[in-house]
Amino acid sequence: DIQMTQSPTSLAASVGESVTITCLASEDIYGSLVWYQQKPGKSPQLLIYGATILEDGIPSRFSGSGSDTQYSLKINSLQPEDFASYYCQNGLSTPYTFGAGTKLELK
């Protein structure tokens, strides 16, 4: 199985700041990386797929990058609604493994 390692586990930031979350795959996933946002008590929401493709309706302050085994999610100019948990997902093959998540908290 492909293991997905996210870092950091938690992150504190202020409104207006920029943050980056990273995801490391245990093997090359050829750009097949997906990012989700999840707010407490809610279901996950798709942000980015194919490592860099922004889902329709997602603000442009979210961006994804990376290749091979290393990927990143960057959020520019944090807004109050961005404080949530973020998960990466292996989109190459089953089992579709997820990272353990990054909790983004308000500083």
Kindly tell me which of 22 and 97 has the beta carbon lying closer to another protein: 97
Query: DSSP assignment of 48-84, as one string?
Result: EETTTEEPTT--TTEEEEEETTEEEEEE-S--GGG-S
Contacts with 79 (C-beta within 8 Å, 6 or more apart), sequence order: 15, 59, 61
Least CB distance to another protein at residue 75 (A): 19
Amino acid at 36: Y
Least CB distance to another protein at residue 6 (A): 9
Kindly tell me which of 37 and 75 has the beta carbon lying closer to another protein: 37
Kindly tell me which of 60 and 94 has the beta carbon lying closer to another protein: 94
Q: Which helix (H) or strand (E) holds 37?
A: strand 33-38
Residue with tokens 């795959």: 25
Kindly tell me which of 82 and 102 has the beta carbon lying closer to another protein: 102
Least CB distance to another protein at residue 22 (A): 16
Query: What does the binding site for another protein look like in residue numbers (CB under 8 A)?
Result: 31-34, 36, 38, 42-46, 49-50, 53, 55, 87, 89, 91-101
The token pair at 32 is 């097949």
